[in-house]
């Protein structure tokens, strides 16, 4: 009897074979497990990365924090564009159309390369005045500009890394992108260690040794991250374009010039995701403006509580990635019932895992906060925020995983509208009312309510049929020929 593997189960989707509940759960765990581990490694290593810059003082940390929302905005545009093509590839793989999948990959590669170069040039152009536009103090503007400029120069490599990673994931290859992302995080820490600090003498077990360093400070942090992204992008592109059994394109000819039909479908998915990116990042900026007048203790408690809560997100995002792949391939194979079944399985598993972590966070709130701060007032206030947020994790898990399922179906317009209503009307509206009266706790109450409302929106959406009504594959489309 042949062993049941990830590849055999994915092949069953494409061939129309029935999958039992046990097989659907097994396949979901096989796809989401590597992504969850990669998320864990990323969070842990980001803590280490942040502590390196933090050791330089408040000014360097503030200069990076000042432009961080701008880097998140650029990242969001790059990820959304990559998904506009990867979802089409998932549908074609599900339909057994490997030639069409590779053709979409070629066209997407050309488009994302051109887009990322243009975005990089724009970002470099605004890097000088950006810290001033964001209201940064004179003392941190130079470092903020330098950090964003170096980040912008590496944008094309970062975009290609996103693109290759999403392409591999949509084909069902989750382990390799996850391992490479973990490796990128390790390289980031190593490069930062060598580039941020100057050459110095350290004592290890009583023995003195010299550690080399470039002493570049904030610039070293940006360069270290950029170099790590460049290495990862080169490796993952090699595995995608040369080694992947379904999507390797080096052994056949084809055009990289995009067709009108392929672009229409890509931007039909990407456009609403770009709008959603603007909506969400704008809300984060507004939230900062609401919390900032509360004082240093509240600002610190808010920042550290958000960092601590990020450990709860990991299973949700892993399940969301799995949902995108499984729903996309199921719909490509014209198996709506199976797509709905995978949406339910990934939702149940994602919610279950995040609720379990939320329970742990509720009881361990103070010890977790003490790992991040030595200020007793910050620890106490942050712990209260975490305990409140524990009641939002089920709703947040629903939103994360269901959004992944919707992306896999090419359904991005309605989710973008739901996020707009939820974040700007519910969260920001309640925060404006509650924060002046209850302080930081009022803001976190507003956030808790909003995440549950957003989860309810998504649950209603995926309980129906219309989110699966986006046909990205048909027998008469024109992706093979240029107009």
Mean pLDDT of 291-305: 78
Q: What is the pTM of this model?
A: 0.82
Last residue of a domain, one of 258, 281, 298: 258
Q: Are residues 422 and 291 in the same domain?
A: yes
Q: Quick check: 327 pLDDT over 50? A: yes
Q: Are residues 213 and 327 in the same domain?
A: no
The residue segments making up the domain with residue 403 are 10-33+271-470
Q: Are residues 62 and 92 in the same domain?
A: yes
pLDDT for the residue numbered 1: 45
- Mean pLDDT lowest among 82-96, 207-221, 262-276: 207-221
Q: Are residues 330 and 409 in the same domain?
A: yes
Q: Quick check: 262 pLDDT over 60? A: yes
Q: Are residues 232 and 354 in the same domain?
A: no
Predicted confidence (pLDDT) per residue in 195-206, tens digit: 988 888 777 667
Which is it for the CA torsion 179, 181, 182, 187, positive or negative? positive
Task: Give the pLDDT band (50/70/90) at residue 441.
Answer: very high
pLDDT for the residue numbered 476: 44
pLDDT for the residue numbered 250: 87
Does residue 147 lie in a domain region? Answer: yes
**Residue of 221 and 426 predicted with greater confidence:** 426
Does residue 44 lie in a domain region? Answer: no
Predicted confidence (pLDDT) per residue in 377-394, tens digit: 888 999 999 999 999 999
Predicted confidence (pLDDT) per residue in 13-70, tens digit: 888 888 899 999 999 998 888 878 777 777 766 666 666 776 676 667 667 767 777 8
Q: pLDDT exceeding 70 applies to what percent of the chain?
A: 91
Mean pLDDT of 352-359: 95
Are the CB atoms for 240 and 164 separated by under 8 Å? yes
Does residue 46 lie in a domain region? Answer: no
Mean pLDDT of 207-215: 81
Mean pLDDT of 122-130: 93
Does residue 20 lie in a domain region? Answer: yes
Mean pLDDT of 294-317: 81
Q: Are residues 126 and 208 in the same domain?
A: yes
The overall average pLDDT reported for the chain is 87
* Measured distance CA(117)–CA(122) in Å, rounded: 9
Q: Quick check: 472 pLDDT over 70? A: no
Q: Are residues 109 and 160 in the same domain?
A: yes
Q: Quick check: 187 pLDDT over 50? A: yes
In three-state form (DSSP H/G/I as H, E/B as E, the rest C), the secondary structure along the chain is CCCCCHHHHHHHHHHCCCCCHHHHHHHHHHHHHHHHHHHHHHHHHHHHHHHHHHCCCHHHHHHHHHHHHHHHHHHHHHHHHHHHHHHHHHHHHHCCCHHHHHHHHHHHHHHHHHHHHHHHHHHHHHCCCHHHHCCCCHHHHHHHHHHHHHHHHCHHHHHHHHHHHHHHHHCCCCHHHHHHHHHHHHHHHHHHHHHHCEEEEEEECCEEEEEEEECCCHHHHHHHHHHHHHHHHHHHHHHHHHHCCCCCCCCCCCCCCCCHHHHHHHHHHHHHHHHHHHHHHHHHHHHHHHHHHHCHHHHHHHHHHHHHHHHHHHHHHHHHHHHHHHHHHHHHCCCHHHHHHHHHHHHHHHHHHHHHHHHHHHHCHHHHHHCCCCCHHHHHHHHHHHHHHHHHHHHHHHHHHHHHHHHHCCCCHHHHHHHHHHHHHHHHHHHHHHHHHHCHHHHHHHHHHHHHHHHHHHHHHHHCCHHHCCCCCCCCCCCCCCC
**Residue of 36 and 163 predicted with greater confidence:** 163
Last residue of a domain, one of 258, 285, 309: 258
Are the CB atoms for 116 and 159 separated by under 8 Å? yes
* Measured distance CA(376)–CA(384) in Å, rounded: 12
Q: Quick check: 220 pLDDT over 80? A: yes
**Residue of 243 and 306 predicted with greater confidence:** 243
Does residue 121 lie in a domain region? Answer: yes
Mean pLDDT of 418-436: 94
Are the CB atoms for 352 and 25 separated by under 8 Å? no
Q: Are residues 278 and 336 in the same domain?
A: yes
Q: Are residues 26 and 164 in the same domain?
A: no
Does residue 479 lie in a domain region? Answer: no
pLDDT for the residue numbered 204: 66
Last residue of a domain, one of 205, 232, 258: 258
Structural domain total, the chain: 2
Q: What φ, ψ does residue 407 adopt, rounded to 5°?
A: -60, -40
Q: Quick check: 294 pLDDT over 60? A: yes
Q: Are residues 208 and 314 in the same domain?
A: no
The burial class, CB within 10 Å (0-12 / 13-18 / 19+), for 154 is buried
Mean pLDDT of 84-105: 91
Question: How is residue 16 written in tokens?
Answer: 């129309």
Are the CB atoms for 389 and 305 separated by under 8 Å? yes
Q: Are residues 240 and 324 in the same domain?
A: no
* Measured distance CA(459)–CA(226) in Å, rounded: 38
Q: Are residues 218 and 277 in the same domain?
A: no
Predicted confidence (pLDDT) per residue in 143-157, tens digit: 889 999 999 999 999
């Amino acid at each position: 009897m042949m062993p049941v593997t990830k590849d055999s189960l994915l092949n069953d989707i494409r061939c129309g074979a029935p999958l039992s509940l046990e097989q659907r759960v097994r396949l979901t765990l096989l796809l989401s497990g590597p992504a969850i581990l990669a998320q864990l490694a990323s969070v842990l290593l980001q803590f280490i990365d942040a502590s390196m810059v933090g050791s330089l003082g408040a000014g360097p940390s503030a200069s990076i924090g000042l432009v961080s929302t701008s880097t998140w905005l650029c990242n969001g545009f790059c990820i959304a564009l990559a998904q506009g093509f990867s979802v089409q590839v998932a549908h074609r793989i599900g339909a057994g159309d490997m030639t069409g999948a590779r053709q979409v990959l070629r066209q997407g590669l050309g488009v994302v390369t051109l887009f990322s170069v243009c975005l990089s040039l724009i970002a470099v152009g605004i890097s000088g005045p950006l810290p001033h536009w964001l209201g940064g103090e004179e003392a941190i503007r130079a470092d903020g500009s330098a950090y964003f400029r170096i980040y912008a120069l590496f944008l094309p490599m970062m975009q290609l890394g996103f693109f290759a990673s999403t392409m591999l994931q949509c084909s069902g290859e989750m382990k390799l992108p996850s391992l490479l992302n973990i490796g990128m995080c390790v390289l980031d820490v190593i490069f930062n260690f060598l580039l941020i600090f100057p050459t110095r003498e350290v004592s290890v077990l009583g023995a003195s040794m010299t550690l080399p360093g470039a002493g570049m400070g904030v610039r070293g942090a940006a360069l270290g991250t950029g170099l790590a992204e460049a290495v990862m992008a080169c490796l993952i592109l090699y595995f995608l374009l040369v080694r992947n059994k379904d999507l390797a394109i080096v052994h056949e000819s084809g055009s990289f010039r995009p067709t009108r039909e392929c672009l229409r479908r890509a931007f039909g998915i990407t456009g609403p995701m770009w709008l959603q990116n603007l909506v969400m990042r704008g809300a984060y900026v507004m939230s900062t403006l609401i919390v900032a007048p509360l004082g240093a203790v509240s600002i610190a408690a808010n920042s550290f509580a958000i960092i601590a809560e990020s450990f709860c997100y990991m299973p949700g995002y892993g399940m969301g990635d799995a949902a995108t792949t499984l729903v996309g391939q199921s719909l490509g194979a014209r198996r709506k019932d199976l797509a709905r079944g995978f949406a339910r399985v990934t939702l149940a598993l994602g919610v279950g895992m995040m609720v379990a972590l939320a329970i742990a966070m509720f009881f361990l709130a103070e010890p977790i906060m003490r790992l991040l701060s030595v200020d007793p007032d910050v620890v106490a206030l942050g712990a209260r925020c975490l305990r409140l947020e524990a009641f939002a994790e089920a709703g947040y898990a629903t939103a994360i995983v269901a959004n992944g399922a919707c992306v896999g179906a090419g359904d991005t317009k309605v989710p973008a509208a739901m996020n707009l209503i939820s974040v700007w009307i519910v969260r920001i509206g309640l925060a404006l009312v509650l924060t002046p009266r209850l302080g930081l706790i009022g803001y976190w109450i507003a956030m808790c309510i909003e995440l549950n409302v957003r989860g309810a929106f998504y649950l209603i959406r995926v309980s129906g049929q219309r989110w699966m009504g986006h046909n990205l594959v048909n027998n008469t489309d024109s992706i093979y020929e240029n107009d």
